[in-house]
Structure 1
Amino acid sequence: MKVDVKTLDAAKAGDVELNDAVFGLEPRADILHRVVTWQLEKRRGTARGARERSDVSRTGKKFGRQKGGGVARHGDRAAPIFIGGGKAHGPRVRDFNPSLNKKVRALGLKMALSAKAKDGSLTVVDNLDVAEGKTKALVGQLAKLGLSKALFIDGEAINISFAKASSNIVGINVLPAVGANVYDILRADALVLTRAAVEKLEARFNG
């Protein structure tokens, strides 16, 4: 698949051949759903479980008579009503670490890239150099490209001038190629890759 390469000023800077094994797959909703669900569940933190009545180190001996003591009837000091007793209905440890086959994860990323290429929301740019890292200059360049809510993926590292210029533009996010993921790609209205990002992504799957 051959696509045009543009500059940030929307001028043509050649073309690039995209690997059909990475950018030309037919997207499957079930695969994308599995990968996004896995990715979001991996983000969830595990709550620290509280010690309940059966977990605290207190004697289990009944400490008073059942009747005649003039106080409530208790079985042992581990009851939640006592200082040092177990927590009543406290948070419990829940495991949010699902597993997903590496091949399925890789396939999901390929399908996310292919989905953007298929619907025409994929743009390839030569580089992300912004003059003096000025936000005003970048806003004008994005207007020429017709981009508002977009994810930019660079090569080995993020372009410093672009990161500085885009840091306070709402809807513009930038990632290095190693950070490319299905969730961020699908939620962006447009995907912009640099030449270096294309090379990195194709090498990632072919390696």
Structure 2
Amino acid sequence: MKIKVLKLDASSAGDIELNDAVFGLEPRADILHRVVTWQLEKRRGTARPTRERADVARSGKKLGNQKGGGTARHGDRRAPVFIGGGKAHGARLRDFNPSLNKKVRALGLKMALSAKAKDGSLIIVEALDVAEGKTKTLAGQLAGLGFGKKALVIDGEALNISFAHASSNLKGVNLLPAIGANVYDILNHDTLVLTRAAVEKLEARFHG
């Protein structure tokens, strides 16, 4: 698949040949759904449990006589009514640690990239250099490129500092290194923007 490469000022910088094994697959909703569900579940933290009556280490000896003491007939100090006793109806352990085959995860990322290439919302840029890292300069350039309301920009091995500074105050523009490319963020943005370095990194990730 051949696609145009643009500069930030919207001028042409030639063409690039995209690997069909990465950018030319037919997207499958079931695969994308499985990967996005797995990714969001992995974000959830473990719900920590509280110690209930059976978990508290205290004496099991009966506090006093069953009758004649003038107090309630308690059996031991692990009861929830005592300080240091177990929690009544406390939170239970809930550990969200789903698993998903590596091949399915890799296939999901390829399909997410292919989906953006197929619907025309993939933009390839030569580089992300912004003069003096000025937000005003970058905002004018992005308007000419047609980034849309929400754009995910993926750079190569390291982020371009000038672009990172210039885009930090722009709403709807998010920046990731190639290693951070993921299905959820790609699908959650209107436009996917890749640099040449990002394309090389992503293709090498699957066909290194």
Segment drifting more, 64-73 vs 100-109: 64-73
**Secondary structure of the equivalent of 2:137?**
helix
Please give the TM-score of this superposition, normalised by the length of structure 2: 0.96
Name the structure 2 match of 1:131: 131
Instruction: Give the deviation of 1:67 after TM superposition.
Output: 3.3
Aligned residue for 1:186? Answer: 187
Amino acid at match of 2:130: V
Alignment correspondent of 1:156:
157
The match for 2:50 is: 50
Report deviation, 1:168: 1.3
Partner in structure 2 of residue 172 of structure 1: 173
Match of 1:41? Answer: 41
The 5 Å alignment of 1:99-118 reads 99-118=99-118
In structure 2, the residue matched to 1:32 is 32
Q: How far apart are the structure 1 equivalents of 2:189 and 2:58?
A: 55
CA distance in 1, matches of 2:122, 2:6: 12
1:113 and 1:66 mapped to 2: Cα distance? 72
Q: Which range moves more in the overlay, 141-150 or 68-77?
A: 68-77
More off after superposition, 19-28 vs 84-93: 84-93
Shift of 1:90: 2.3
What do the CA deviations read for 1:119-168 (whole angstroms, capped 9, x no partner)? 11000000001110000001001100111310000001010000000111
Which residue pairs with 1:71 in the alignment? 71
Q: Which runs of 5 or more residues in structure 2 are unaligned?
A: none
CA RMSD of aligned residues (A): 1.0
How far apart, CA to CA, are the structure 2 residues paired with 1:69 and 1:29?
70
Question: Within 1, Cα distance between the matches of 2:198 and 2:151?
Answer: 15
Percent identity of the aligned residues?
Answer: 81
Taking structure 1 as the reference length, the TM-score comes to: 0.97
Matched, 1:96 2:96: yes
Residues in 1 aligned to 2:68 and 2:27: alpha-carbon distance in whole angstroms:
75
Stretch deviating more after TM superposition (84-93 or 179-188): 84-93
Deviation of 1:73 (Å): 2.7
Aligned residue-pair number = 207
Aligned to 1:204: 205
CA deviations 1:37-70 (Å, max 9, x no partner) are 1111111111332211101111122222333332
List alignment gaps of at least 5 residues for structure 1: none
Q: In the aligned structure 1, how far is the partner of 2:88 from the partner of 2:164?
A: 49
d(CA) in 2 for partners of 1:186, 1:89? 41
